[in-house]
Structure 1
Amino acid sequence: MTRIIQSLSEISTDYDVLFCDLWGCVHNGIRAYPSAVQALQAFRRGGGQVCLMTNAPRPAAQVEASFDRLGIPADAWDEIVTSGDAAQDALFAGAVGRRVWHIGPEKDDAFFDPPAQWADAQPIERVSLEDAEGIVCTGPFDEENETPEDYRGQFMLAREKGLKLLCANPDIVVDLGDRRIYCAGALAEFYQQLGGESLYFGKPHPPIYDLARRLLNLREAARVLVIGDGIRTDIAGAVGERLDSIFITGGLAAEELGEDVENPDQALLTDWLSNAQLTPTFAMGRLR
């Protein structure tokens, strides 16, 4: 059974490295959670390494650029790994062709800037759906108002054309402050439901974990702990990688697990995880 803990310090000496989700664990899209930042700082002071692992569809440098605004200090982490990094590598390798229809807001335009290792690669051209060889999805065009259903007509056409969809963010939803918005993963899942083919590179899929291990230069025996609030991304990824995990219940699943967001109800948690058919090693209301 999943053990509920009150703080990371209860178990921190059993681990060398944290793979810690960002949105929902360290910040809410608007500001950082002070207790989460303090927990990461304390882990690093104890000799551990922290990799902030996010399904953001943007390169790590762009994610880092938002940290001052959010209030995430440099001494709370060692590396940042994004699904954008892993998906970018696949894009420039030609996973969905060189002429692509991009679904996503303007803030994700940096995804199409070639990383250093692909500086000499043939450029990626963004074109209309009618002229595309493939699709790149970094999120809805209007993430505050659109739903996957808004793309039904275009996705049916894409399916008939046999286009593959590269999903740069496998998250289904995230909470922006007190609002819940759809992510690229919701659109990719809908495209599959319509008979299309979607390719994923963030959590819970292996490429993002492989990238994190390379960046941290982890030895095989390193004891890694995954922290996240996404049962189908963070926790499923940990299970797939055979890593221990902390499920942050006060994130996406907060409304399901009791009235006190800081302290999940054990009975509700047990039933909820049984339905999810996934068992994290530990659970905690908020990262602290």
Structure 2
Amino acid sequence: MTRLIHSLADIAAPYDALFCDLWGCLHNGVAPFPEAVEALQNFRKIGGTVVLLTNAPRPARFVQASLDKMGVPQDCYDLIVSSGDAAQDAMLAGAVGRKVWHLGPEKDDGFFSEIPPEWQGQAGVERVSFEDAEGIICTGPFDEIAEVPEDYRARFLMAKTRGLPLLCANPDIVVDLGDRRIYCAGALAALYEEMGGETLYFGKPHPPIYDLARRKLATIGLPDDARILAVGDGINTDVAGAMGEGIDALFVTSGLAHDQFGPDVEAPEPELLRSWLAMRQKEPLYSIARLR
């Protein structure tokens, strides 16, 4: 049974590191949550390491640039590990071929232009037209504000007929951009999979992003047996991924499912929360209204 807590400090002491989600936990896509920033800063002050583990479909340096622009202070985290990092590794390894069609907005172009040092000088990947593609790299809709997954059904039917695999660089279905809910690459991938297309995932809740995060932790000296707490508002991404990896989870109730736990988003009703979690067969060790 999940334990409803008031602040991260209530449970932080036993943990060496946090895997902390971004959207819905640290920020709302427009501005950071001051209490969340302070909670992460305080965790670092007691010796903890903060990894921002995000399903953003861009390499970490582009995620950091977005956080800087938004006003998230760099002293509240140590590392950023993105779904884009893990998916980019797979793409460069040829997971969906060497000629790929990019389904996604221009802001994700860094996925193709910023090649990690370890891949420099090796066989490249070329962005081509849909007609010439061997596979699809999906980072989201072309127009994430106006489009919905069904807008891509006809194109996906052609892709499936041609046997094109789709690499999903962001398994999230939706995120909240301020007060607006928008679709992510995960919603498009789910439709393609439902239609019978082959789909590959590399962000939460799938293992590759956790493997990458652990490797990054090792580079800054954390041991393999470091105790990790995953923080997130996605029951099917953050919590499911943590459970699959044997990591304790702290579920943030004020995020994607904020309207499920009673009228006061700052005070989720315990019975509603536990019933909702039971229906989804998910059991985070802890839950909290907001990261603070």
Match of 1:216 in 2: 217
1:25 Cα deviation (Å)? Answer: 0.3
Match of 2:95 in 1: 95
1:123 Cα deviation (Å)? Answer: 2.5
1:221 Cα deviation (Å)? Answer: 1.9
Match of 2:26 in 1: 26
Note the 1:5-16 alignment, pairs <5 A.
5-16=5-16
Give yes or no for the alignment of 1:185 onto 2:189: no
Residue identity in the other structure for 1:158: A
Give yes or no for the alignment of 1:86 onto 2:75: no
**Residues 82-125 of structure 1, C-alpha deviations (whole Å, 9 max, x = no match):** 00000000000000011111100000000002221111123322
Alpha-carbon distance between aligned partners in 1 of 2:69 and 2:119, rounded to the nearest angstrom: 30
**Residues 165-212 of structure 1, C-alpha deviations (whole Å, 9 max, x = no match):** 000000000000000000000000100000001000000011111111
Match of 2:44 in 1: 44
Alpha-carbon distance between aligned partners in 1 of 2:247 and 2:74, rounded to the nearest angstrom: 26
**Residue pair 1:99, 1:131 contacting (<8 A) in 2 also:** yes
User: How many residues are treated as equivalent by the alignment?
Assistant: 288
Alpha-carbon distance between aligned partners in 2 of 1:159 and 1:277, rounded to the nearest angstrom: 32
Give yes or no for the alignment of 1:2 onto 2:2: yes
Alpha-carbon distance between aligned partners in 1 of 2:47 and 2:123, rounded to the nearest angstrom: 42
**Residues 225-258 of structure 1, C-alpha deviations (whole Å, 9 max, x = no match):** 0000000000000000011010000000001111
Give yes or no for the alignment of 1:141 onto 2:142: yes
Note the 1:166-177 alignment, pairs <5 A.
166-177=167-178
Alpha-carbon distance between aligned partners in 2 of 1:238 and 1:247, rounded to the nearest angstrom: 10
- What SS is found at the alignment partner of 2:109? helix
1:163 Cα deviation (Å)? Answer: 0.7
**Residue pair 1:228, 1:246 contacting (<8 A) in 2 also:** yes
Note the 1:85-164 alignment, pairs <5 A.
85-113=85-113, 114-164=115-165
Match of 1:237 in 2: 241
| Superposition misfits of 4+ residues, deviation over 2 angstroms | none
- What SS is found at the alignment partner of 1:14? coil
Output the aligned Cα RMSD: 0.8
Q: Give the unaligned 5+ runs of structure 2.
A: none
1:275 Cα deviation (Å)? Answer: 1.3
Note the 1:52-63 alignment, pairs <5 A.
52-63=52-63
1:69 Cα deviation (Å)? Answer: 2.1
Alpha-carbon distance between aligned partners in 2 of 1:220 and 1:61, rounded to the nearest angstrom: 25
- What SS is found at the alignment partner of 2:142? coil
Alpha-carbon distance between aligned partners in 2 of 1:17 and 1:95, rounded to the nearest angstrom: 31
1:247 to 251, 271, 289: 251
Alpha-carbon distance between aligned partners in 1 of 2:227 and 2:283, rounded to the nearest angstrom: 19
- What SS is found at the alignment partner of 2:13? helix
Q: Give the unaligned 5+ runs of structure 1.
A: none
Match of 2:205 in 1: 204
Alpha-carbon distance between aligned partners in 2 of 1:155 and 1:243, rounded to the nearest angstrom: 36
1:127 Cα deviation (Å)? Answer: 1.6
**Residue pair 1:25, 1:248 contacting (<8 A) in 2 also:** yes
Residue identity in the other structure for 2:147: E
Alpha-carbon distance between aligned partners in 2 of 1:57 and 1:220, rounded to the nearest angstrom: 27
Deviates more, 1:67-76 or 1:246-255: 67-76
Match of 2:290 in 1: 286
- What SS is found at the alignment partner of 1:13? coil
**Residue pair 1:31, 1:69 contacting (<8 A) in 2 also:** no
Residue identity in the other structure for 1:21: D
